Structure 1
Amino acid sequence: MDSKRQQKFSRLIQKELAEIFQRECSHLFQSTYISVSGVRVSPDLGVAKVHLSLLLSPQGRDLLKEVQVHTKTIRHELAKRIKNQVRVIPELIFYLDDTAEYAAKMDKIISELDIPAESKEDPSNPFNRAEEEDLPEEEDFGNEEEEDEDEEDFRRRR
C-alpha cells in the first residue's frame, strides 16, 4: 500500500504527464491519443512506473517502444513542470495498460458461454423456491395465558 506522500506524488506525475502527452509531445507519436491510466511511485520517489493507454493505435507495442525511445525528452518536459515541487525528478518506466483489451476478451468469453435457462423445478438447484413452500410453518411455543400471568407478576413487583 502506498503512503499518502506516494499517492500525492503519483497523482501529480499522472496529471503532468497527461498534459505533456496531449500538448507537448503529441507530434512525436503520430497524433495518437495517449492517456496515462496510472502511475506507481517507489517509496523513495526515485522511480515512477507509468501505465499508458494507447487509443486509435493498432500497433500498441510499436508505439510503446517509440515512447520509450523518447523517455529522456518526456522526463525533461516533466522536470520543467514540477521542478519547484520536488527535489528529484523520478526515472520514468513506461508500461502498456491492457485492461481494456483484457476486459473485452473476458466479455467475449462470457458471452460465448452456454448457460441453460433456470428451471423452477430443477432438483439440483439449491435455491429452488418450490422447496420453500413445503417447509412447515413456525410453531408457537409460548402460551398466551402464561405470558399474561408473567406480566401481572412483573407489575406487582414494581
Structure 2
Amino acid sequence: MQETKRQKQVGQLVQEELSDIFMRMGFNVTEGGMISISSVKMTPDLLEARVYLSMFQIKSPEEMLEKINERMGEIRGALGNRVAKQLRRVPYINFFLDDTLDHVFKMEELFKKINEDKDKK
C-alpha cells in the first residue's frame, strides 16, 4: 500500500527531528563510525514510526541498535517535546537496521567478478 501525503509529511518531520536528537545525544558519530537515519515510514494511523538506521563502520550494528533501544524513553521524550505542536500523539518508534549499503557493496563485487570472468575468456 502506498503512503499518503500526510504519512510522508509526518515521516519527514520525525526524520528531521530524530536526526537532530541523535546528533545532540552523540549517536551520529560514535565508536569510530557514523549512524544516520536513512528513512522513516509511518503507519496509516500515524502512531508508529519505523525508523531505518544506516550504520557506517560500526563494528557491531546489532549491539549499537540495542544501545539505542535502551535509551528509547529518552529519545521518544525528546521527540515529544519537539513535535507537540504538530502532532496529537507522539508515535511509538521502532528502529531497524538499513542494510541497503551492504547489499550495494555485495552487488558491486558480484559485477566485478562477472566482468573479470568475461575478460579472462
- TM category (shorter chain) comes to 0.7 to 0.9
Q: Which runs of 5+ in 2 are unaligned?
A: none
Aligned partners of 1:22 and 1:34: how far apart in 2? Answer: 9
Partner Cα separation in structure 1 for residue 97 and residue 7 of structure 2: 21
Name the CA distance, whole Å, in 2 between partners of 1:30 and 1:115: 42
- RMSD value over aligned CA atoms? 2.0
Query: Runs of 4+ in structure 1 displaced over 6 angstroms?
Result: none
Q: Considering only CA atoms, is the larger Rg found in Structure 1 or Structure 2?
A: 1
More strand by share: 2
Matches within 5 A, 1:98-109: 98-109=99-110
Match of 2:43 in 1: 42
Identity, % of aligned positions: 32
Distance 2:6 2:89 in 1: 14
Partner SS for 1:115:
helix
The normalised TM-score by structure 2 is 0.88
Structure 1-normalised TM-score?
0.68
Whole-Å separation in 2 of the counterparts to 1:30 and 1:38: 20
- Higher relative CO (CA 8 A, sep ≥ 6), structure 1 or 2? 2
Match of 2:73 in 1: 72
Q: Is the 8 A contact 1:47 1:90 kept in 2?
A: yes
Q: Unpaired segments of 5 or more residues in structure 1?
A: 118-158
Deviation of 1:55 after TM superposition, in Å, equals: 2.4
CA displacement at 1:88 relative to structure 2? 0.4
Q: Give 1:106 deviation, angstroms.
A: 0.8
